[in-house]
Amino acid sequence: NGIRTVYAPLPRHPASVRDLSLLADIATPAADIEEAIRKGAGKTLESVSLFDLYQGPQVPEGKKSISYSLSLRAADRTLTVEECDHTMQKVLKELETIGVVLRS
């Protein structure tokens, strides 16, 4: 049937899930935001998924609120809270380079 199944071992260590609600220009593509997240998070980023996109009265004119869920994991150990916080700071710093900030 042409479909090849690939199996991978189950992770031995738990993931840490963090959600980010961001404020971006309407013209900023979600793909650019996701790329900045991946670049900032580095190898500890297991997955990133967009779960909310909003434009409306609570968002400034010309902006959009966009929210992502990030799953962070190390193959060899459980990540500490400090490591996860440090990764998230790197993500936010990378997002700032494309004009995207944490929504307050």
Residue 17 covered by a domain: no
pLDDT digits (tens, 9 = 90+) for 37-55: 999 999 999 999 999 999 9
Query: Rounded mean pLDDT of the chain?
Result: 95
Residue 73 covered by a domain: yes
pTM of the shown model: 0.88
Predicted confidence band at 68 (pLDDT cuts at 50, 70, 90)?
Answer: very high
Contact between 13 and 74 under an 8 Å Cβ cutoff? The reply is yes
Residue 31 covered by a domain: yes
Predicted confidence band at 1 (pLDDT cuts at 50, 70, 90)?
Answer: low
User: 35 is in which domain, residue-wise?
Assistant: 24-102
Residue 16 covered by a domain: no
**In total, how many domains does the chain have?**
1
